[in-house]
C-alpha cells in the first residue's frame, strides 16, 4: 500500500515537471507601449511590443539581405568581427552548436553582424564562414556601414557595440545572442560565451518554434 502511494507520488511529480517545461512561454523583451483603442464602443488596451526595425546589409556572398529574408522565421542575432580574438571565437564555437542543431531547418536563421566595417568586407566574411564550415545562407554574416550596425545593435537588439580607440582591439562589444521570433519581437538574450546559456537558448528556440509553428509564412 505504502509502495503504491510512493509510486503514485513519483509519477505525479514527474508529470508536474514535464508539463511545466512544456508550458514554458518566452517573455517578450524590450520597450512596450500601451495603446487604447475603441472596439465596439468599449475601450481596449493593447500592448505594442518593440519590433526589429527594417534593415538591409550585404552578406558573405555579397547578396543583399534584408528584414524580409527573416519573415516567418525565428533567428538569432549577434555582433562580432573576424579578427577578434577575445569573445568572438567562443561565441561562434557555441553558435556552431546552434547551427548544427537546426541545420537545414527553413524556419531558423542566424544573423551575425560584423562591427568592423573597414576590414570585414564580404569576401573576408566569406572566407571566415568557409573556415567555420558554413555553407549556404542559413547563417548570414553581414557587412554594413559602422553607423548602421552600431545603431542597429543598440536600438534593435539592445546590445552594446562601438569603436573604442583605448581598447587593444579597437572595439567594445557584448557577446549576447538575441533570439528574435517570427513577429520580430525579442524573446531572449543569452550570453554567447557560455555553453550552458547557449544550451538554454537551443531549448528556448524549440519552444518558440512550437509556439509559432502554425503561422509560418
Which CB atom, from 70 or from 99, has the smaller least distance to other proteins?
Answer: 99
* Of residues 127-166, those binding other proteins (CB under 8 A): 128, 130-133
Q: Which of 163, 169, 148 is nearest to 86 (CA)?
A: 169
- Report d(CA 80, CA 67) in Å as an integer: 19
Which CB atom, from 131 or from 217, has the smaller least distance to other proteins?
Answer: 131
Tell me the number of residues near other proteins by CB under 8 A: 15
Which CB atom, from 92 or from 143, has the smaller least distance to other proteins?
Answer: 92
Contact between 41 and other proteins per CB under 8 A? no
Q: How far is the CB of 169 from other proteins (least distance, A)?
A: 9
Which CB atom, from 90 or from 151, has the smaller least distance to other proteins?
Answer: 90
Near other proteins by CB under 8 A: residue from 67, 86, 148, 212: 86
The dihedral through the CA atoms of 119, 122, 123, 129 has a sign that is: positive
Q: How far is the CB of 99 from other proteins (least distance, A)?
A: 11
Near other proteins by CB under 8 A: residue from 28, 96, 200, 202: 96
What are the DSSP calls for 113-168, one per residue? EES-TTT--HHHHHHHHHHHT--TTSEEEEB--HHHHHHHHHHTS---EEE-TTST
- Report d(CA 173, CA 78) in Å as an integer: 10
Which CB atom, from 50 or from 90, has the smaller least distance to other proteins?
Answer: 90
Contact between 90 and other proteins per CB under 8 A? yes
Contact between 85 and other proteins per CB under 8 A? yes
Vertex 23: Cα angle to 22 and 27 (nearest 5): 120
Which CB atom, from 31 or from 164, has the smaller least distance to other proteins?
Answer: 164
Please name the helix (run of DSSP H) or strand (run of DSSP E) that holds residue 44, with its range, or none.
strand 42-49
Q: How far is the CB of 59 from other proteins (least distance, A)?
A: 18
- Report CA-CA distances (Å) from 206 to 34, 36, 122, 181: 29, 33, 31, 11
The footprint of other proteins (CB under 8 A) covers 83, 85-90, 92-93, 96, 128, 130-133
Amino acid at each position: 500500500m505504502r509502495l503504491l502511494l510512493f509510486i503514485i507520488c513519483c509519477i505525479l511529480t514527474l508529470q508536474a515537471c514535464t508539463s511545466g517545461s512544456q508550458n514554458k512561454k518566452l517573455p517578450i523583451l524590450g520597450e512596450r507601449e500601451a495603446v487604447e483603442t475603441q472596439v465596439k464602443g468599449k475601450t481596449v488596451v493593447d500592448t505594442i511590443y518593440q519590433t526589429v526595425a527594417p534593415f538591409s546589409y550585404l552578406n558573405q556572398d555579397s547578396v543583399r539581405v534584408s528584414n524580409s529574408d527573416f519573415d516567418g522565421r525565428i533567428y538569432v542575432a549577434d555582433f562580432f568581427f573576424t579578427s577578434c580574438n577575445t569573445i568572438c571565437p567562443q561565441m561562434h564555437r557555441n553558435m556552431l552548436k546552434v547551427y548544427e542543431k537546426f541545420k537545414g531547418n527553413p524556419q531558423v536563421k542566424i544573423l551575425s553582424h560584423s562591427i568592423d566595417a573597414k576590414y570585414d568586407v564580404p569576401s573576408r566574411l566569406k572566407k571566415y564562414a568557409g573556415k567555420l564550415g558554413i555553407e549556404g545562407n542559413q547563417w548570414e554574416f553581414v557587412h554594413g556601414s559602422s553607423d548602421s550596425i552600431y545603431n542597429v545593435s543598440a536600438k534593435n537588439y539592445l546590445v552594446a557595440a562601438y569603436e573604442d580607440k583605448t581598447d587593444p582591439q579597437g572595439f567594445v562589444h557584448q557577446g549576447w545572442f538575441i533570439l528574435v521570433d517570427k513577429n520580430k519581437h525579442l524573446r531572449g538574450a543569452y550570453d554567447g560565451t557560455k555553453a550552458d546559456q547557449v544550451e538554454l537558448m537551443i531549448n528556448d528556440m524549440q519552444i518558440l518554434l512550437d509556439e509559432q509553428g502554425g503561422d509560418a509564412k
